Amino acid sequence: MTAALARFAGTRIFWPIVLLVVLLVINLIAFPGFFTITIKNGHLFGSLIDILRNGAPTLIIAVGMTLVIATRGIDLSVGAVCAISGAVAAAIILGSPDPGNPGVVAIAIGVSLAISLVLGVWNGFLVAVLGIQPIIATLILMTAGRGIAMLITEGQIITVNSAPFKALGSGSLFGLPVSVIIAAVIFAFAALITRRSALGLLIESVGINPEASRQAGVRSRGLLFTVYAFCAFSAGIAGLILTSNQTAADANNTGLFIELDAILAVVIGGTSLAGGRYSLTGTLVGALVIQTLVTTVYTVGIPPIATMVFKAAVVTAVCLLQSPATNAAFARWRHSLSLRAGKGAAAS
């Protein structure tokens, strides 16, 4: 048992899980009913459900961001894509004579996601074909995207009064929030397609050594197109959920800084920004840490303006705990435990 714990302590996901548990305990101490989940009208309610619901958009984007980072890239445009996606959907629904028509909402969602996919292909084109550094390529859309969303909304906050569209952000299915179910489906899809096929290994190979991968016959250009398109597609879904939850399209604030939360979730989860090996499970834990941290700030009465400071502190702490020096110390600890276990077995 001790040896198994020592091995688990040596994994990159150990400290994020410890941090998540610590945050949950702090919330439980500050609010004894924190773990309470109630059922009203067939829907689940409680602080834990709120964490899952509010963290769903970040997790959705973080899943796509994980694959992009695994290729040694970055996507700073996801927040802008969120704003564009929400603005397009709101404009289509508002321009319809029957905003409550499920068919109209389905068309609005389809068009928004199609545009998000095109924006992801654009990012992939800049990175894979033109060879522009990912941080610069996606910075272009990050800068221009808000302006595009402002043009779509004509500089106004578009209020959307549509029950089918509102269900994306605040509706429930089988008692769970719809947004949580969508996030779970996207996470499961990404895990299945990358870990049950060769796609994950190809993505890692491109991130570790793009030139060697190319010489080995890996079509890195196609992979880059795929991961950037998927990341933007995920951002489009998150943008629809955020806009639905707000019942309004706000080009200035929808998805604002969500790219930073997604990157933080990926880093906390143990995926290296240098590319290569990645962990979707770690990203899931990282997204939960980010949202639980925000909830903790509100629960203990800390001013919300200090949230970014605490996020920075958490990332710093996790990075230090995942550093080579810390890993070496744990390796020595595991070695000493194995020696003690060997001596104990010999003595018996």
pLDDT in tens, 154-197: 889 989 889 999 999 888 888 899 999 999 999 999 999 998 88
Kindly state the tokens that stand for 271.
Answer: 């995926």
Instruction: Note whether 265 and 58 are within 8 A (CB).
Output: yes
pLDDT beyond 60 at 1: no
Query: Whole-number mean pLDDT of the chain?
Result: 87
C-alpha to C-alpha distance for 12 and 326, rounded to whole angstroms: 11
Return the exposure string of 142-174: e unless at least 16 CB atoms fall within 10 Å of the residue's CB, then b: beebbebbbebbeeeebebebebbbbbbebbee
Q: Which residues contact 276 (CB under 8 A, 6 or more apart)?
A: 70, 72, 204, 207, 208
How is residue 34 annotated by DSSP? T
Residue 344 to residues 3, 338, 341, 347, Cα–Cα distance (Å): 13, 10, 5, 5
**Chain segment 249-304, per-residue pLDDT in tens:** 999 899 988 999 999 999 888 888 888 889 999 999 999 999 998 888 887 777 77
The pLDDT-based confidence of 327 (bands split at 50, 70, 90) is low
